[in-house]
Each structure stands twice: as structure tokens, then as C-alpha cells.
């Protein structure tokens, strides 16, 4: 749920902010920089995180400049989930915002001109024109994300995990790997994997049905 709230909402916010930028050169530069991490391997991303978040890493050096005490991001179970969620956000926010940017490009510019003539400011134009214009895309992608709500990540938590945060870093995928491949408990790992798939399908069908009841487009 934490990953869904952060990973789904921030690309929408980025797309809305970029849509307000009038300098095309600056806009394209920000877009390019934001989606470049998507093409970096997860192993490389994890290596960068270990360097940045180390006790003498970049983040703690910046914190020291502002008089803040250093924090052990990768050895603190309370901070470890945030490291996973926001590192995934950093890697994918630019790429995930592309589809919203494409939807924003399809909104009729005359609607903004009419709203401006009627006295609407930028925030009211976003609320009454921009968001309704991409609402169908938002709902479709939300349904697809709810269908993956238990599709837990493996690479990043497994690579960054250590004995100090073992309880906070273990996902369903890691559990299946440890019990199935390392522990030879194939029946248990198969049951867990099947349970994960069934729950995801239930969320997918329930969210799609709910969207249909409110006369919104679904995925089927």
C-alpha cells in the first residue's frame, strides 16, 4: 500500500508540473533526466544506494552540513521500507509519467483559453480541466496497479537486505525463494505464489467492477 500510494501519485504530480512548463527546452531536459534511471539495472541502482546511504555517504554528508545527526538508512528497520519505496520512485517516476504526458497532450487548448477568459487561475484550470481530461487514464492505471498490489519486488530488497533489517526487508517473493529454492519446500512456495496471484486477481476484478459502477472506463 505504501508503494502504491507513493509510486502511483508522484508520476501524476510530475506530469502536471511539467505540463505547466512553457520553456520546451527545460521541459525536455527534466523529462530526460527523470526517466534516465529507468534504464539502469537494479543491481547498479542498489550499488549506488549503498554508496549514497552509507554512514559516510552523500546523504549523511549533506545532513552534517545542516547540523543533523547521521542516520543508518540501510540498517534501520524503520527506515528500510522508505528506502525501497523511494528508490523505486526515483527509478520509475519519469518513465511512469510519460503516459500521463501523452494524455495531457490530447486535451483541447481551447478549454484552457475559455477558462482563462472566465477568470480561472492555473490551479482551478488543473482541477476542472486537466485532471478530468486524464481521469480515465488515471483510473485504468490505478486498476492495473491494484492488480499488482501483492506482486512484491525481489531484486532491490534482496540486494539491499542485511541481518539487521531482515524482518523489514522480506517480501513475498523473497519468502517464496527462500522456502522453495533454498529450502526445497516446493508445496508451500507454490501455495504462497498461488495465494498471491488469487489476491491480485480479486483486487483487479473488484476495482474494475467499482469503476464500472461509477460509469468510468475499466480495463475489460
Q: Is the pLDDT of residue 151 over 80?
A: no
146-168 mean pLDDT: 84
Q: Please give the full DSSP string across the chain, using - where no structure is assigned.
A: -HHHHHHHHHHHHHHHHHHT---HHHHHHHHHHHHGGGGS-HHHHHHHHHHHTSTTSHHHHHHHHTTPPP--TTT-TTTHHHHHHHHHHHHHHHHHHHHHHHHHHTS-HHHHHHHHHTT--HHHHIIIIIHHHTHHHHHHHHHHHHTTTT----HHHHHH--GGGHHHH--HHHHHIIIIIIT--HHHHHHHHHHHHHHHHHHHHHHHHHHHHTT-----
86-98 mean pLDDT: 91
82-94 mean pLDDT: 91
Q: What is the pLDDT of residues 107-138, one digit of tens each?
A: 988 998 999 888 888 889 999 999 999 998 89
What is the predicted pLDDT for the residue at 60?
Answer: 87
Closest alpha carbon to 98 in 47, 33, 51, 31: 31
pTM here is 0.86
- CA–CA dist 11, 101 (Å, integer): 10
The residues, ordered by sequence, that sit 6+ positions from 178 with a Cβ below 8 Å of its Cβ are none
For the chain, the average pLDDT equals 88
What is the predicted pLDDT for the residue at 89?
Answer: 92
Q: Are 164 and 75 in contact (CB under 8 A)?
A: yes
Q: Is the pLDDT of residue 203 over 80?
A: yes
What is the predicted pLDDT for the residue at 73?
Answer: 85
Share of the chain above pLDDT 70, in %: 99
164-180 mean pLDDT: 87
What is the predicted pLDDT for the residue at 168?
Answer: 86
Question: What's the pLDDT band for 58 if we cut at 50, 70, 90?
Answer: confident
Closest alpha carbon to 72 in 52, 88, 53: 53
47-64 mean pLDDT: 87
What is the predicted pLDDT for the residue at 18?
Answer: 92
What is the predicted pLDDT for the residue at 100?
Answer: 93
> Is the sign of the CA dihedral 36, 143, 4, 18 positive or negative?
positive
Question: What's the pLDDT band for 153 if we cut at 50, 70, 90?
Answer: confident
13-31 mean pLDDT: 90
Q: Apex CA 97: angle with CA 34 and CA 155, to 5°?
A: 70
Q: Is the pLDDT of residue 10 over 90?
A: yes
Amino acid at each position: 500500500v505504501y508503494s502504491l500510494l507513493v509510486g502511483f501519485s508522484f508520476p501524476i504530480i510530475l506530469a502536471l508540473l511539467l505540463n505547466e512548463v512553457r520553456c520546451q527546452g527545460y521541459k525536455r531536459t527534466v523529462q530526460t533526466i527523470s526517466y534516465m534511471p529507468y534504464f539502469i539495472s537494479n543491481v547498479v541502482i542498489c550499488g549506488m544506494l549503498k554508496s549514497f546511504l552509507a554512514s559516510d555517504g552523500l546523504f549523511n554528508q549533506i545532513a552534517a552540513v545542516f547540523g543533523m545527526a547521521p542516520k543508518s538508512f540501510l540498517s534501520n528497520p524503520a527506515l528500510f521500507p522508505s528506502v525501497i519505496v523511494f528508490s523505486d520512485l526515483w527509478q520509475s517516476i519519469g518513465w511512469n509519467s510519460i503516459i500521463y504526458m501523452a494524455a495531457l497532450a490530447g486535451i483541447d487548448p481551447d478549454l484552457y483559453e475559455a477558462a482563462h477568459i472566465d477568470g480561472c487561475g492555473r490551479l482551478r484550470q488543473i482541477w476542472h480541466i486537466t485532471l478530468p481530461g486524464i481521469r480515465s487514464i488515471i483510473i485504468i492505471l490505478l486498476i492495473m496497479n491494484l492488480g499488482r498490489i501483492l506482486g512484491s519486488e525481489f531484486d532491490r530488497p534482496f540486494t539491499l537486505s542485511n541481518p539487521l533489517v531482515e524482518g523489514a526487508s522480506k517480501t513475498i517473493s523473497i519468502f517464496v525463494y527462500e522456502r522453495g529454492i533454498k529450502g526445497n519446500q516446493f508445496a508451500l512456495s507454490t501455495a504462497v505464489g498461488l495465494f498471491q496471484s488469487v489476491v491480485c486477481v480479486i483486487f483487479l476484478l473488484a476495482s474494475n467492477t467499482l469503476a464500472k459502477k461509477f460509469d468510468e472506463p475499466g480495463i475489460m
